[in-house]
Structure formats: structure tokens, C-alpha cells
Amino acid sequence: MSRLTRCIVTLSVLLALPFAAAAQETRGLKVACGSIGIELQLCEEGVREWSEKTGYPASIVSMPGNTSERLALYQQFLSAKEATIDVFQIDVVWPGVLQDHLLDLSPYVPKEEVERHFPSVISNNTIDGRLLAMPLYTDVGILYYRKDLLEKYKRPVPTTWEELTETAKVVIEGERTAGTPDMWGYVFQGRAYEGLTCNALEWVNSSGGGSIVSEDGKVTIVNQEALEAIQLAASWIGEISPKGVLNYGEEEARGVFQSGKSVFMRNWPYAWALIQTNGSPTKDKVGVTTLPSAKAGEKGSGTLGGWQMSVSKYSTQPEKAAELVRWLTGPEVQKKYALRATYNPTIMALYKDKEVLAALPASQVLYDALMVAVPRPSKVTGRRYNQVSYSFLNAVHAVLSGEMEAQDSLTALDKRLERIGKDGTWK
Ligand code: GLC
């Protein structure tokens, strides 16, 4: 994380303090929300509504959009054990990483309220019987494609990575000749941050190469399928994907795709709502489907993502913070996230809500994608997940950028992960 980002966030927290302190004998709640797409705006609205309803002060602390930078900042705040921030929006892979700093919410959230969410997400958020987070929305990687261009070049929606590569080449050639010199084939999240772990896990898993570390703690990354999947991805750079993709997060990929400069994009469902807004150059020209796999006819696996709301163990207002979390993760707010920005609810009943179903991009595609979604190995690696993820994404980034051969990079990664995992114990 840049020093500048850290400074800006710290400053924004400090500047907010005197106002909140004057407002009450407490300083009110400070909430760290997400900020990809329009989620910051939605979170702000949710917090404001709760504050107006209850008369209790609560405000937002702005945070970096990049997931990995956000984690570093959270860790900095939490390791100081200070009550600077009360409520944290956390990634689905962080309950284990942050477990020592989060409040057990079970005494604060009625059982029936917990049980209305997908059991898999609740189980993900529960460590040693402690419910460390309430689910806000769930996510899965999907493939966006240009319907109009596939029709123009008479190519089917690709179901394998090879087919995607071939189709991208055909369309690029045609479109460049036809006068769009900066046309590309495939954009994704290739920067060295958590998003690359998600993308690379998809290439590997949907090629039959496992999920880095198995559920029982064995390092499984060295195998032929993983090797070939990463080699194929490396062949895209400068060919069907711009070199700049090595520095793309979600929003950079969306920018290129939405402006009409790429045939395919890998992203999360939130991009749909933005692509479909009035004035978007690609409105009504885009389709979504499950990611490709290595074998024709098999659905590729999208990485399971998603965000939760947690309360810091160091908050001096835990009851109020938990109350706000219940509101933010409740049906009204989840429905609003789905309708306004295509974030997938975790409350099962909302999937029977007609308005929600109409708003989500091809709800059947999302359902299929969620069914075959691959989780990152965060449960088994617990506190060490971030080290695992960083080792993996750096190893992949080195191959994509041509610094290392895939075989050497994976062998080195294997050694590193064995060391981090201390013989598969991950303790
Ligand atoms: C999305 C996902 C999250 C993932 C992140 C990576 O926000 O919901 O789980 O870690 O993207 O950039």
C-alpha cells in the first residue's frame, strides 16, 4: 500500500473524530465499507438510514478499493488494538486472517436471523464456534462477452480457454483491420494482488489442477494441469490481453471492456449493473456465462468471493455496532444492493423475490456459477491465508510478466508453501 493511501485514510479518521465526539458522549460508529463499483455509495446510504432510524451517529471511513491494500490497512488498525474503526467490511477469505481481532457476533444476532443466510457462508464465517462476520453479499467470477462481436464473426460463446483464445484472436484481427487499432480480446485482473489469486485459481481449477492447497491441508499446486493453465494464460499477454493487464484490478478491466475495447472480460457480477447503465457504450451488447474450462462441455469454476460485516473486538460500542451490522446485512439492504448494483444476496429467500431475480444478470448463469464455484483455501490455511495467497499470486505474476518459467516458478512456490504450512499443519 502506498504511503499516500495510508496517510489519507488515517487523516480522514482523525478529522472525523472531533465532530463525532461532540455529537454524543460516544464518538458514534466508524464504518469501513468496500469501494468497488458503487458499493461505497450503497454502504453510505445503508449507514445513514440506520443512523436516522436509531438517532445514533455513524459515519464512513474511506478505504482503498484494492482488496490487498485494504487488508494491510485493517491489520494496521486492528493490531494497534484501538477502537478507531468499529465495523469492518471483510472479504470472504479474511475471517481466519483476522480471527484474533473480531467480535463473536452470536450473542448479538438472533439464531433465526443467522439461519436465513446460505449455510456455507455462515460456516465460512464461523471459527471455533465464534461467528466472526455476517454475510453482506456473495460473489463469483463470471465471463462477460460481446454478443454483437461473436455474432459478427460467427463464433459461439466459448466453453474452453483454448476456444476463448482462438475467438479472441479472430475478433481482434478483424476489428483492428476494420479500424479499431486498440481492440483487445480478453481483460481480467492481472495485478499482483488478491484479484490475481482469484483469476489464476480459476484457470488452474477449471483445468483440473486443484485449488493450491487441498481441504485437508496438502500443497497441490505442482501438477501438469496447473502448469499448462498458467502457461496458456502467460501466452495471452501482449497477444489477446494488453500488457497493461498485469496492472489491472476489477475497475481497470471493466473500464476497457465497457468502453468497447475487449471481446471478453472476467469479472464479478457487479460489473453487469454498470455495463447496463444508460450511456454505457456497451449497454445491451453484452452477455454473461460461466467461465470456460479445459474440456468442452464442462463448466469452468469461478472463484467464490463475497463480503461480510464484522465488529472489531476493540470497539467500545459493540451492541450498537452489532445492531448496525444486522441492519446492513438484513433483507432491505441486501435487496437494495441486488437491485441497484447486482450484488448477489446471501439471504436465501431473496432468490424467490421477483424484483431481485429480474435485476441479476441471467440469474440461472449466476446460480450455475455459484454451484460450481471454487473457494480459495482460506479455511484450511487460517491465519496464514494471506501469505499463501501472496506466494501464489507473486509466482503467477512472475510467469505472466515473463520473469520466470512456469515450471520453475511453481516448484519454488511449492517449497515456499510447504514451509508456510509447516508440514500441512498450517499452525
Ligand atoms: C471481489 C470478491 C472478493 C475478492 C476480491 C479480489 O471483491 O468479492 O472475495 O477477494 O474481489 O479483488
Choose the most confident range, by mean pLDDT, from 13-27, 54-68, 358-372: 54-68
The 10s digit of each residue's pLDDT in 231-289 is 999 999 999 999 999 999 999 999 999 999 999 999 999 999 999 999 999 999 999 99
What is the percent of the chain with per-residue pLDDT over 70, rounded to a whole number?
94
Beta bridge partners of 309: 89, 134
Backbone angles phi, psi at 232, to 5 degrees: -65, -45
Higher-confidence residue: 8 or 354?
A: 354
Are β-strands 58-61 and 29-32 bridged in parallel, bridged antiparallel, or unpaired?
Answer: parallel
Q: What order of strands is seen across the sheet that includes strand 134-140?
A: 58-61, 29-32, 87-91, 304-311, 134-140
Q: How far is the CA of 27 from the centre of ligand 1 (A)?
A: 31
Confidence of residue 366 (pLDDT cuts 50, 70, 90): confident
**Ligand 1 probe mutation, 251, 268, 337, 346, most atoms within 8 A of CB:** 268
At 296 the pLDDT is 87
Q: Can you list the domains of the chain with their CATH numbers?
A: 3-139+305-376 (3.40.190.10), 142-302+379-421 (3.40.190.10)
Atom of ligand 1 nearest to the CA of 268: 1
Confidence of residue 26 (pLDDT cuts 50, 70, 90): low
At 22 the pLDDT is 41
At 14 the pLDDT is 43
At 125 the pLDDT is 97
At 6 the pLDDT is 52
Q: How far is the CA of 88 from the centre of ligand 1 (A)?
A: 15
Tell me what the pLDDT averaged over the chain comes to. Answer: 92
Does position 324 have pLDDT exceeding 60, yes or no?
yes
Lowest mean pLDDT: which of 28-32, 166-170, 419-423? 419-423
> What cell was used for 62?
474511506
Backbone angles phi, psi at 405, to 5 degrees: -75, 145
Confidence of residue 368 (pLDDT cuts 50, 70, 90): confident
The 10s digit of each residue's pLDDT in 327-352 is 999 999 999 999 999 999 999 999 98
Mean pLDDT on 135-139: 97
Burial label for 179, CB within 10 Å (0-12, 13-18, 19+), is exposed
Residue nearest to atom 2 of ligand 1 (CA): 305
| Ligand 1 binding residues, C-beta < 6 A | 36, 67, 91-93, 139, 194-195, 198, 250, 268, 305-307
Are β-strands 262-267 and 142-146 bridged in parallel, bridged antiparallel, or unpaired?
Answer: antiparallel
- The Cα 405–Cα 200 span in angstroms is 16
Q: How far is the CA of 195 from the centre of ligand 1 (A)?
A: 6
Instruction: Tell me the residue type at 159.
Output: T
